Amino acid sequence: MKTIGSLLLLVSIAGFLTLFTYKRKGKLPQLTNKHMFLSAGGLAVVSFVSLILLAFGIGKANDLSLDALGIVGVCLTALAFVLVFYYFVTAGWYRRYVLSKEENTEKKQKILYATGIIGVVLFFVFASLYLEAITPVLKFPLNKLIIDFGNGRGVTYYAVVIIVGALTTYLISDYYVAKAGYGHGKLETCLYLAFPAGIIGGRIWYVIAEWERDFAPFFQQDPTKIFRIWEGGLAIQGGVLLGAAVGIGYMMWKHKDIPILFLIDTVVPAILLAQAIGRWGNFTNKEVYGQAVLASQFPWSILPTWIKNQMMVDGDPTKIYVPLFLVEGICNVIGYYLISFGAGKLLKEYLVPGDQGMLYLVVYGIIRVVLEPLRDPAYQMGVNDTTGAGMSNSSIMAIVFIVGGILGIVALHVLDYLKKKKNNTIDNQAA
């Protein structure tokens, strides 16, 4: 039942993405908006059923059961979660592709935009409430596999959240690229190249940074350990560098009509959202956490039960490890909105193309500089496991990010000034 529920949930998510992607590309001309919304409703029903099956399947697998109140709670939170998700995706589609073709719809646009933001907030609220409702049938720490094929093999939560994060960045970037007049789908092939390049870059960086601690002692006996990515071990900095390099290189080669600095400003800040989502893989794996604190201590006391149970210190139910994945995720989301909407709108007249991409380096570098020393020493790359002595490689790279971002912004403004000065000289000579 658990496997069926998991598969149905993955199928429904894939169905939503396929339906709206194909309709947007004009590959389903026979499907009217009304019928598309009905199809999305059908997928929503499948999602609801999958969440119910998942809850009962987990309980059966763990030899635990819900009482009557718990069953009602699961059904209501699952229904609310699905309804909010359905409204968010359909309202977004209606606002972008239906109202945009009509006149005098400004008021409706604003209403749908505002309710869409509310929908995003409620989406996470009801997702948390659903997890809270099924907590009595969960065993902690959680199994790393969302679908178990046996012998420790299967589909991991980590893999799913990384893919969801990448798709989120793609969909947001694709929206703004199309909004700028370059059309949809220009980034699709770029995603297929940059995403695996990011995974490879993240692994290479991790292996280099942790060679002496995690790989050198075992290399002669088992050299394949460096390839076993499913056992954990990705460095975000390496992933960003190689993924961005491959993506930028491809777009410069294949889509010369799109200004590369515009793409950097559009895509790079959105990587923060992918990282915020991907950090939940650390939660399911119970890794990359901070120091142990009292569970009753504010602000950790207000955390949902399912987070506190997962982060509980072994042998001491009164303490939990600080969920730095959550702290960093929240900081990443805030950072994205500061770059894209704070700087992008409020400081627009002071920006030049490329500034927002460089601000990503500064913002993410600051986040890592602040949070890295708070991690458990076992999860700080390049430091002593027990004492935490020395500055971690991630902290050093974060400082490089900050300096590189600042220098990049200065260079962009200098080049922009020289370009404008040259153009003014040419105009004056022509006059």
Q: How far apart are CA 216 and CA 210, in angstroms?
A: 9
* Residues 85/181/336/93 CA torsion (nearest 10 deg): -10
pLDDT, tens only, 409-431:
999 999 999 988 888 877 677 66
Question: What pLDDT sits at residue 215?
Answer: 79
Q: Is the pLDDT of residue 88 over 70?
A: yes
Buried b (16+ CB within 10 A) or exposed e, 158-177: bbbbbeebbbbbbebbbbbb
290 Rama class: left (phi>0) / alpha (psi -120 to 50) / beta: beta
Residues 6+ apart with CB under 8 A from 48: 78, 79, 82
Residues 6+ apart with CB under 8 A from 20: 36, 40, 89, 93
Q: Which of 344-348, 360-364, 421-425 has the highest mean pLDDT?
A: 360-364
More confident site: 360 or 396: 360
Question: What pLDDT sits at residue 426?
Answer: 76
Average pLDDT, the chain: 88
**DSSP label of 394:** H
Q: How far apart are CA 171 and CA 73, in angstroms?
A: 32
Place 382 in a pLDDT band, splitting at 50, 70 and 90: low
Averaged pLDDT for residues 143-170: 84
- State what percent of residues in the chain have pLDDT above 70: 96
* Pair 415, 393: CB distance under 8 Å: no
253 burial (CB, 10 Å; 0-12 / 13-18 / 19+) is exposed
Question: What pLDDT sits at residue 390?
Answer: 60
pLDDT, tens only, 96-155:
778 877 777 888 888 888 898 898 899 999 999 999 999 999 999 998 887 777 776 778
Place 216 in a pLDDT band, splitting at 50, 70 and 90: confident
Beta strands in 105-168 (DSSP E): 145-150, 153-156
> Residue 80: which of 108, 44, 113 has the closest Cα?
44
* Pair 54, 130: CB distance under 8 Å: no
Question: What pLDDT sits at residue 102?
Answer: 79
Beta-bridge mates of residue 150: 153
Place 389 in a pLDDT band, splitting at 50, 70 and 90: low
In the numeric block, the tokens 């992933």 are attached to 239
Averaged pLDDT for residues 40-61: 93
